[in-house]
């Protein structure tokens, strides 16, 4: 499929125009960043693994009626996706305390939460994606009330589904981030606004721990220098039954991470 002009370049992906209006080609890069771009590296093969893992997860969600922007994977690094109007909020769902929650509230890492916790962050890199309340979303009209209610229900449903999916392969879904977008369609002559999951769901955007050992298999390997990130992502792909399709990710090379200067939040 022929790529059109570059529409947007993010930290880990590039979006190109697709031949058909209303669609885009999403390209997965090998770049890894953490702590809002303070730590950077290129990890060969990461984009290929995330493309494949995210395709698997998003198509499983599509199958159970939770709509996503994914149309199909095109090749090792690219997917055809629907173009949407992105809601500028990162929806974080947590089952076990880790990451910023432990720092912000002094909760011990690994504490199992009584029920899933949904947090909202305003998607703005220069402000470091600050945590916001539902009231900020209404006050600044980031999203209307009815849409936010529908998305909230979706987040819990997605969490139930993904927790089950990962439990079946002996992985704990500690937390994850979702983004949603809106598309306006005509159905039977009337306008309909659809809410679609509109970003990858991959080990870059989830915390995934081995169910027995609590070994981290996600981007925390890079954030915290815990070892070989590709091995963790490959382990997830292997357990999901999709690794055989990208067994040619080798040799795996790592570029030296840039100096890390981490601001305490």
Q: Report the interface residues with ligand TMP, using CB under 6 A.
A: 92, 99-101, 129, 175-177, 205-207
Coarse DSSP helix, strand, coil percentages of the chain, rounded to the nearest 5 percent: 30, 35, 40
- 201-230: which residues touch ligand ASP (CB under 6 A)? 219, 223
| Residue number, 78 or 179, with CB nearest to ligand TMP | 179
In angstroms, the CA 68 to CA 87 distance is 14
Task: Please state the closest distance from residue 146 (CB atom) to ligand TMP, in A.
Answer: 25
Going by their DSSP bridges, the two strands 89-96 and 85-86 should be labelled as unpaired
Buried b / exposed e across 26-38, counting CB within 10 Å, b at 16+?
Answer: bbbbbbbbbeeee
Rounded to 10 deg, the angle between the 145-167 and 46-63 helix axes is: 110
Residue 77 binds to ligand ASP (criterion: CB under 6 A): no
Which tokens sit at 210? 């081995």
Residue 159 binds to ligand ASP (criterion: CB under 6 A): no
DSSP letter for each residue of 54-83: HHHHHHHHHHTT--BSEEEE-SSSEEEEE-
Which region among 32-40, 47-55, 56-64, 206-214 touches ligand ASP (by CB under 6 A)? 32-40
Instruction: State in Å, rounded, how far the first CA of the chain is from the last one.
Output: 43
Which of 37, 124, 255, 258 is in the footprint of ligand ASP by CB under 6 A? 37
Identify the H or E element spanning 13. strand 13-17
Residue 23 binds to ligand ASP (criterion: CB under 6 A): no
| Residue number, 52 or 94, with CB nearest to ligand TMP | 94
Which of 33, 50, 98, 202 is in the footprint of ligand ASP by CB under 6 A? 33
Residue 176 site contact among ligand ASP, ligand TMP, none (CB < 5 to 8 Å, cut-off depends on kind)? ligand TMP
Residue 177 site contact among ligand TMP, ligand ASP, none (CB < 5 to 8 Å, cut-off depends on kind)? ligand TMP
Which region among 29-37, 74-82, 151-159, 226-234 touches ligand ASP (by CB under 6 A)? 29-37
| Residue number, 70 or 74, with CB nearest to ligand TMP | 70
Residue 56 site contact among ligand TMP, ligand ASP, none (CB < 5 to 8 Å, cut-off depends on kind)? none
Rounded to 10 deg, the angle between the 46-63 and 229-240 helix axes is: 30
Alpha helix (H) residue ranges in the chain: 46-63, 99-105, 134-139, 145-167, 220-223, 229-240
Residue 217 site contact among ligand TMP, ligand ASP, none (CB < 5 to 8 Å, cut-off depends on kind)? none
């Amino acid at each position: 499929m022929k790529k059109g002009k570059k529409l947007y370049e993010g930290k880990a992906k590039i979006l190109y125009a697709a031949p058909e209006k209303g669609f885009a080609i999403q390209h997965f890069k090998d770049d890894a960043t953490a702590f809002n771009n303070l730590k950077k590296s290129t990890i060969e093969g990461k984009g290929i693994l995330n493309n494949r893992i995210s395709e698997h997860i998003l198509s499983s969600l599509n199958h159970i009626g939770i709509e996503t922007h994914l149309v199909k994977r095109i090749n090792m690094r690219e997917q055809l996706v629907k173009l949407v109007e992105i809601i500028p909020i990162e929806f974080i769902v947590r089952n076990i305390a880790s990451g910023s929650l432990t720092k912000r509230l002094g909760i011990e890492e690994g504490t199992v939460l009584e029920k899933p916790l949904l947090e909202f962050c305003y998607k703005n890199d220069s402000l470091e994606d600050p945590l916001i309340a539902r009231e900020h979303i209404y006050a600044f009209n980031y999203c209307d009330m009815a849409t936010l209610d529908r998305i909230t229900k979706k987040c819990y449903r997605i969490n139930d589904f993904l927790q089950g999916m990962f439990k079946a392969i002996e992985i704990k879904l500690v937390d994850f981030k979702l983004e949603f977008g809106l598309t306006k369609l005509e159905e039977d002559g009337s306008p309909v606004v659809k809410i679609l999951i509109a970003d990858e769901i991959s080990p870059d955007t989830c915390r995934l721990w081995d169910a027995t050992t609590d070994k981290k298999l996600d981007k925390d390997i890079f954030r915290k220098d815990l070892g070989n990130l590709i091995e963790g992502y490959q382990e997830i792909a292997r357990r999901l039954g999709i690794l055989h399709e990208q067994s040619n990710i080798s040799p795996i090379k790592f570029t030296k991470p840039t100096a890390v200067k981490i601001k305490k939040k």
